[in-house]
Structure 1
């Protein structure tokens, strides 16, 4: 295998896989819950009092510089499109996360679906055993309140499968990401299992005969999806032990690192939307200490994900997004922290449909204002849609009978980052 790889066989296979017209696109979102300090990561202000103690380093793209805390990601900057001119209006965590996930302000009557559900509806294979939308290590607050991560008016069919919801510190990353109940109950053989499925189907049929509405069908659909997820080939996607130890080490044995590895395994098997969460970015106090704690996992997991996707011929069809709900203040507070700041901040898009090796937009020398190409949430989501080959203006019928577009028609995609 080593000699074949050196001879160019592996890159040729990867390129062939990327050109395969039957392969659908996928999206992986690396969600930085709490609002990452992007001024310390992708839009540093060296020499200004707002810059703080962190230094810039060169990347593999001349002129594009990032934080010293991301040396591995810096070596892959030719795949990155950094958007340095995000400008939004909401500084509350919950509302900002909802807007970033749905592109809409919360409205009581309308059950807006999350962007992951919208993408899954467009790209999912109805016959697939794996779900179309998977969330890995969802932050605690979002588990309790949703914050635009559910299926909304699209219905239960596109509700995400959540993995790694435990907050126990004594649980290993491997155990945290293990999906429970994927195996038949002990002592139940294949014939008995099939009989139980037949019985469940009959009970559901009888239940649905005199009950109107969508609930009976949704219940039956959920049971069928669960049964398909238990099939050996589908269940094997979640078995990280199948990966070589060296690969798992490269991603990092953290929940986020192993979550990135799991995300690669899922999109490799056709899952169209996967989110991997990394919590802890609400750095009002001791911002720089927190960044030193958080970025090793981020750097290893993100860089390994991009390399792995590239080597397997999947990067051309997988759009990788890095974002939180807002950025943090350019000014440093008395607690050596940075506070909420939606006015000027950064996001990053890489991979499929993206022109890498560039930074779009510009903020002022002190980081307080966007000086070039302000990007709203709808603009950002429309850009991702375009990268995925989805029409952002496509409409879905809402729960109040009103057609609603995937992204508001006022959105302007950031054309300069699109391949």
Structure 2
């Protein structure tokens, strides 16, 4: 049994059906007071673009060139810095964004590229490395919390679980998964017009089943703990310990205080709609709710029901739709974090597994391209209002500020106040640094 791939979500479905959970009101936290607190630990939100977004149609436009495509540039609130016309919201927050236009990696396969960007390591070696989410959750997280320290919202069904997994850190640092549960229709604005359902995201099996009250639930937990402790004392195996760890994490999430963090019905309708009605926008709202409760790492995927940005054909229609969804969710997330005093302690990273070819193929699409592409950093610890790195006129190669994945991860670590040379130990007691790259000081504040 590969314990690093043991699914917390699957175990939740089994354990919670047996155990149930209590429910009570969340005690509200005053995020506006907590945000500026110098003792508040930082958080990171990774916006993962499954499939590989096209840099030349988003943050590194090539107007006037044959590779430029159909989209126009739009001015931002930073003179000289321009984005796609479909980023009207982000354009007004460009002063908080640092675009890394010199990304260059060597993996053009979806699974291999996803693993590389999440771990900084190429797949296939003898060691299963932790994702950056697991590493930062271990470094920034707390053990005395009922909430998980690493949450993945709407992760791609096409990803190798090892890419976003805890690797050799073990299941204690695995991501808790939040998924779509269908649609929740919203009342029409005019009383009779049909409306698009508002995506319903959440974690299943976090409430008590019918007929199970709190005392019965607590008695079952006590019995389980007694039996589990006896079993572990006589069977000290990795698989048994992994099962116990995941169960204990599941029970913590079933606590009413934790469960309420995922309950979007507590938000006003107009707030929910401001993020966008799809799973990405609602995922950004969950990310905001988790960050204000102290969760150190949240990953939200756009394109998670497939490889949404994998635009080998019909590139421009698809990218227009995805860009508009991205712009609404991301810009609203930053606005709300800023209003709550949380943006200065929350770093946002936008990336996919690679970029896409500058040239347009015969199917009006763009293909895989890891040689020269873009990522974006924003928020806390980031000196926004700039583009670092440069590609040539055709967008085919990096001419300035070439950035490798280890450099990106080192920069991200610095932005959230973590030394990228922090070492975690493998099962063979080998020290492994979070990143061996060089942070980009020009984009750090």
- Shorter-chain TM-score tier: over 0.9
Paired residue for 2:111, among 94, 113, 116?
94
CA contact (8 A) 2:183 2:197 kept: no
Cα 1:146–1:163, aligned 2, differ >3 Å: closer, same or farther?
A: same
- Aligned partners of 1:220, 1:333: CA distance in 2, in Å? 51
1:244 aligns with 2:268: yes
Task: Give a deviation string over 1:47-71, Cα, whole Å, max 9, x none.
Answer: 1111111100100111110000111
Return 394-403 or 332-341, whichever deviates more.
Answer: 394-403
Paired residue for 2:205, among 174, 181, 191?
181
- Aligned partners of 1:64, 1:126: CA distance in 2, in Å? 42
Match of 1:158 in 2: 173
CA contact (8 A) 1:257 1:300 kept: yes
Question: What displacement does 1:107 show?
Answer: 3.3
Paired residue for 1:133, among 130, 150, 163?
150
- Aligned partners of 1:99, 1:170: CA distance in 2, in Å? 36
- TM-score, normalised with respect to structure 2: 0.87
Question: Tell me, which stretches of 5 or more residues in structure 2 are unaligned?
Answer: 1-29, 186-195
- Aligned partners of 1:270, 1:46: CA distance in 2, in Å? 42
Runs of 4+, deviation exceeding 3 Å: 13-18, 168-176, 213-218
Question: What displacement does 1:370 show?
Answer: 0.5
Question: What displacement does 1:170 show?
Answer: 10
- Aligned partners of 1:51, 1:175: CA distance in 2, in Å? 34
- Aligned partners of 1:183, 1:356: CA distance in 2, in Å? 42
Match of 1:299 in 2: 327
Match of 2:77 in 1: 60
CA contact (8 A) 1:132 1:273 kept: yes
Cα 1:345–1:319, aligned 2, differ >3 Å: closer, same or farther?
A: same
CA contact (8 A) 2:287 2:300 kept: yes
Task: Give a deviation string over 1:80-105, Cα, whole Å, max 9, x none.
Answer: 01111101111111111100000001
Match of 1:412 in 2: 438
1:266 aligns with 2:290: yes
Cα 1:183–1:170, aligned 2, differ >3 Å: closer, same or farther?
A: closer
Match of 1:8 in 2: none
SS in 2 for 1:28: strand
- Aligned partners of 1:299, 1:378: CA distance in 2, in Å? 27
Match of 1:192 in 2: 216
Task: Give a deviation string over 1:322-355, Cα, whole Å, max 9, x none.
Answer: 1001111111111111111111100000011101
Match of 1:386 in 2: 414
Question: What displacement does 1:174 show?
Answer: 5.8
Cα 1:17–1:188, aligned 2, differ >3 Å: closer, same or farther?
A: closer
- Aligned partners of 2:383, 2:237: CA distance in 1, in Å? 46
- Aligned partners of 1:217, 1:53: CA distance in 2, in Å? 55
Cα 1:17–1:107, aligned 2, differ >3 Å: closer, same or farther?
A: same
Q: Which residues in structure 2 correspond to 1:23-42 (within 5 Å)?
A: 23-42=40-59
CA contact (8 A) 1:319 1:388 kept: yes
CA contact (8 A) 1:79 1:356 kept: yes
Question: What displacement does 1:223 show?
Answer: 2.2
CA contact (8 A) 2:315 2:364 kept: yes
1:319 aligns with 2:347: yes
Cα 1:16–1:237, aligned 2, differ >3 Å: closer, same or farther?
A: closer
- Aligned partners of 1:185, 1:361: CA distance in 2, in Å? 55
CA contact (8 A) 2:149 2:296 kept: yes
Match of 1:146 in 2: 161
Return 72-81 or 226-235, whichever deviates more.
Answer: 226-235
- TM-score, normalised with respect to structure 1: 0.92
- Aligned partners of 2:70, 2:341: CA distance in 1, in Å? 39
- Aligned partners of 2:368, 2:242: CA distance in 1, in Å? 40
Match of 1:4 in 2: none
Match of 2:136 in 1: 119
Q: Which residues in structure 2 correspond to 1:194-343 (within 5 Å)?
A: 194-279=218-303, 280-343=308-371
CA contact (8 A) 2:202 2:263 kept: yes
Paired residue for 1:350, among 378, 382, 400?
378
Question: Tell me, which stretches of 5 or more residues in structure 1 are unaligned?
Answer: 1-12
Query: How many equivalent residue pairs?
Result: 402
Task: Give a deviation string over 1:120-152, Cα, whole Å, max 9, x none.
Answer: 00011100100011000111111xx21411011
- Aligned partners of 2:213, 2:271: CA distance in 1, in Å? 35
CA contact (8 A) 1:323 1:348 kept: yes
CA contact (8 A) 2:130 2:167 kept: yes
